[in-house]
Amino acid sequence: MNFFTPFVRLVAANLRAEKFTHLDVGCSGGMDPVWRLFGARFRAIGFDISIDACKDLRDQEIQPDVHYVDGAVGIPPDHPFARRIAGRTVGADRLGSRLSAHDLIARRAARLKDASLAEKLNANAWTMTALADGEQVYILDTLKKFGFDDVDFLKIDVDGPDFLILNSLEGEFARLGMLAVRLEVGMTGGTDEAEHTFHNTDRFMRQQGFDLVALDNRSYSNRTLPAKFLYPMPAQTVTGRIFQSEAFYARDPVGSPELARSLSAEKLLKLAAIYAVWNQPDSAAEILVTFRDRLASLLDIDAALDLLAADTQSGEAQPKSYKAYLDAYRSDDEFLYPRHPEAPTLMQRLRAVWVAMTDRPYIAKIEALRQDLAVDGFVGPGRTRRAAEQGDPQAQFALGVAYLHGQWLPVDKVEALKWFTLAAANAAPEAKASFTAQHDALARQLSDADRHEAANRAAAAKK
């Protein structure tokens, strides 16, 4: 995921009629902050069975058109798929109970009983929070309730009836104008059509007109010899068998003229933005080039292509322009191929290890360099910060979002308000109202002292 691609900020600044609409089914950890770069044009509905998590998210939310629904999302009993599989016993999970992550979560239960909500969620122990136990919630009914008749992006990750929830939308994706879907899928299980498995999900999504564009596999070790965890919680491990994956599906208007005709110019731009966030700047560029005539009235296509070319050259101090990059490709330039420096000797490697372990100033310098010079979303917001400090209002707003939601940076609402203040002050007329609304919404949550501190920081940054 490329959370700090400037291309998304460019698209967000140039939407005129449409909003970016997101449905997040299983939102206890919060929605991906990258979509909030759409500012006042972002609207969303988050669903989660955890009453505690939804209340916490509501309390923190600053955008009026972002809603949270606590409840168990399901499929209506009269839905054709629900009727077809009614009474069917799906194969038992042969692996889950053997995993080290599941075992450790169970072992932590007693210790987490009186823990805070944040501690429980950080420990992947959401089942220990207050859970909704009333009637099921249905996505289509909820969309009607909030007046949403259009959806750009759907995410489902509920550790349970994911496939049933997905099937509840059968035949509705085109009507809703859905562009992309991100799904947690099971990589184990049997062959029954009701199983929450990748093969069932993939067949279903292709039937709905989507292409699989990425698959992020998750390894889980078993408890017999637990591997180290990838994150500071019992979840994926460094080694182990593939237990789950994140499957990324999207529309392909370039390969389907009929689909392309059905999508507005702003829909095409939003799809290109999704591809860019998913680290597929090539697919985003293909949309811009193919539909240049339709998109040219919305933004500078050549400038947008230069941004995507820079994303493709992640790590380059001075990335080539789109034209120069294509020229290098067409000439089969060695620039496109991995550069293999001469392998260090054993003694050089040992010296490097010793320095890394003992030279604290060196370690601090490397860490500072990592934060300051990072040029992609995997490492940090270095490029965004530099642009913000140079007065780019879109970058200033993005940095504010990062501080507000703790994306690659520690949560700091005062610092977030500072950057929202600068963004609103520097924004072009068409973006000023959106940035000001975000600033005012956050300001209302803060104390007079915090607002004063943010104003002082913003004033200092202008000097």
Neighbouring C-beta atoms of residue 64, cutoff 10 Å = 10
Higher pLDDT, 448 or 110: 448
What confidence category does residue 417 fall into, taking pLDDT thresholds of 50, 70 and 90? very high
> Kind and range of the H or E element at 180?
strand 180-186
Q: Which domains, ranges and CATH numbers included, belong to the chain?
A: 19-258 (3.40.50), 276-336 (no CATH), 380-462 (no CATH)
pLDDT at 455: 92
pLDDT digits (tens, 9 = 90+) for 191-240: 899 999 999 999 999 999 999 999 999 999 999 999 999 888 888 999 99
pLDDT digits (tens, 9 = 90+) for 4-41: 788 998 999 999 999 999 999 999 889 998 999 898 89
Residue pointed to by tokens 């789109």: 322
- Hey, which residues does 241 pair with through a beta bridge? 220
What contacts 319, CB < 8 A, 6 or more positions away?
Answer: 309, 310, 312, 313, 325, 375
pLDDT at 365 exceeding the cut of 60? no
Reported pTM: 0.84
pLDDT digits (tens, 9 = 90+) for 228-246: 998 888 889 999 999 999 9
Q: Is 12 helix (H, G, I), strand (E, B) or coil?
A: helix
Sheet holding 20-25, edge to edge: 66-70, 42-48, 20-25, 153-156, 180-186, 241-250, 211-220
What contacts 408, CB < 8 A, 6 or more positions away?
Answer: 3, 4, 377, 380, 381, 402
pLDDT digits (tens, 9 = 90+) for 83-114: 999 987 765 567 878 999 989 888 887 777 77
> Kind and range of the H or E element at 268?
helix 265-277
* Helix (DSSP H) and strand (DSSP E) numbers for the chain: 22, 7
Geometric angle at alpha carbon 200, from 196 and 204, rounded to 5°: 120
E strand segments, 10-124: 20-25, 42-48, 66-70
